[in-house]
Structure 1
């Protein structure tokens, strides 16, 4: 696995995550109950599914953070594994917009608070993510969840709105991984934001080379 760190420090990425968090919160402020049940840009998922996923993803990363802080082993990100994760998303997707937004806000801010309490001496401690990862990687992974799923919500935020720092950071780490794992995939000539959108399976135009499902 190519390291997702690429130059930014742990605390710098946490600051970027907080900024992305605020942007999603702003998009959810005017969300209506009708919009919650409408399809998102992810096949089979409503906007309520995406918001609930982001909240439960926060809970999972918070579990890791608390485990590091307390010294307790956390064997998996989601209690009960993938099936329980999927059930929780399905169960929460149909809630009113106000409750969805509040759940997202609380879970995400709590996770950020926990991550900020972790000292530098613990940054290299491993966590039981689906790929090899350490504490230092958690903010990066959360950053990607927020920015990419913000687009998936279909509320006017697009790949063109991705911060330059996010785009460049992710391309620097994920393009080499694509080349290493799938060397026969042709990388198209696109703007940086469009290139990242293609890379993570959110192409902005038709006719681009097919890319394996991300993350690779």
Structure 2
């Protein structure tokens, strides 16, 4: 699931990871002790929580890649979600310099781990989602790009690339409720059909807004419009985010 990244090669995916990492580093460079405690776009999370999560998930995905090179496997998080959540709470309130050091090092480690993969390593199995190393790299791409926007510092989904958005909506297809079909009609580009149900809803808007809406992120009023049988309807409900832990 989610391995079709708009036809990108592994080298192009690696370049996308490097660009996403630069975005996180630019946010860390501007971080102050005051802004650490500023609420993010995620309910109940400060910017410090977001950076603590980036630190944790980047380290976890780096380990998936490092083990894949050795044809070994381990769970995404030692101790599962409780340990992940506890680490975020423990590190969220750290000073700006601490986030720069810890999150920055974790991001660099993760990009380096994927850069070290040989061509055959990208298809090496990993425990994460019972996939391959490429799935872990795509997850890192999602985490770095989306959570940069979650910081609420001015970077929004409008900066997401078309390639990223197409990958994201494909990855999030499981959020389409059973028996429904979402027909995405971006303002530019080809139509995208998600879900296999007979109850079809047409969703129109910029590709970036459609992707953000499906990701549960805020979009401007009217940026995404729903239509069914030629009539305007409220935006449909969506299911939960595909859990990284559910199939481990």
TM-score of the two chains, using structure 2 as the length reference: 0.78
Deviation digits for residues 14-38 of structure 1, max 9, x if unmatched? Answer: 1101101101211221211111111
What is the distance in 2 between the residues matched to 1:214 and 1:28?
26
Is the CA contact 1:2–1:177 (under 8 Å) kept in the aligned structure 2? Answer: no
Q: CA RMSD in A?
A: 2.2
Cross-structure match for 2:32: 32
Cross-structure match for 1:213: 240
Q: If each structure's helix is expressed as a fraction of its own residues, which one has the higher value? A: 1
Cross-structure match for 1:196: 211
Change (3 A) 1:184 1:94: farther
> Which secondary structure does the structure 2 equivalent of 1:126 belong to?
coil
Deviation digits for residues 57-98 of structure 1, max 9, x if unmatched? Answer: 011011111212233332x01111111111111100000011
Per the TM alignment, residue 214 of structure 1 is displaced from its structure 2 partner at its CA by 2.5
Q: What are structure 1's unaligned runs of at least 5 residues?
A: none
Per the TM alignment, residue 101 of structure 1 is displaced from its structure 2 partner at its CA by 1.8
Change (3 A) 1:138 1:29: same
Change (3 A) 1:89 1:4: farther
What is the distance in 2 between the residues matched to 1:192 and 1:172?
12
Change (3 A) 1:101 1:190: same
Q: If each structure's strand is expressed as a fraction of its own residues, which one has the higher value? A: 2
**Larger RCO: 1 or 2 (CA < 8 Å, sep 6+):** 1
> Which structure has the larger Rg?
2
TM-score of the two chains, using structure 1 as the length reference: 0.89
Cross-structure match for 2:50: 50
> Which secondary structure does the structure 2 equivalent of 1:188 belong to?
strand
